[in-house]
């Protein structure tokens, strides 16, 4: 297998994991389950930071997603 194909598959896996965790967060937030949303939020932030660190996602993209997620989480509390 060519190197670019291997990297593409690895990057797809990382992006898929980020999307899956983001979806879990959105579901928890929609249900109003703040405790679960906070727990998932930590996992999402870690996954996004790792993806940005490995340059799978741009750093600004990860930052924007984390910011929007925190905004949604803070709106749950009020």
What would the pLDDT profile of 30-54 be if each residue is shown by its tens digit? 999 999 999 999 999 999 999 999 9
What would the pLDDT profile of 8-27 be if each residue is shown by its tens digit? 999 999 999 999 999 999 99
Q: What is the pLDDT of residue 78?
A: 67
Q: Higher pLDDT residue, 5 or 78?
A: 5
pLDDT at 77 over 90: no
Q: Using CA of residue 59, residue 44, residue 46, residue 73, what is the dihedral sign?
A: positive
Give the domains, in start order, of the chain with CATH numbers. 3-77 (1.20.58.110)
Q: Determine whether 33 is exposed, middle or buried from the number of CB atoms within 10 Å of its CB (0-12, 13-18, 19+).
A: middle
Question: What contacts 31, CB < 8 A, 6 or more positions away?
Answer: none
Q: Which residue in the block uniquely carries the two structure tokens 């405790």?
A: 35
For residue 66, give the nearest of 78, 50, 77, 54 by alpha carbon. 50
């Amino acid at each position: 297998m060519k190197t670019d194909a291997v990297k593409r598959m690895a990057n797809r896996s990382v992006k898929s994991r980020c999307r899956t965790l983001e979806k879990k967060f959105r579901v928890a937030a929609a249900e109003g389950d703040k405790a679960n949303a906070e727990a998932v939020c930590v996992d999402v932030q870690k996954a996004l930071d790792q993806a940005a660190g490995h340059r799978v996602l741009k750093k600004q993209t990860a930052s924007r997603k984390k910011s929007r997620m925190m905004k949604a989480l803070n709106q749950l509390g009020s």
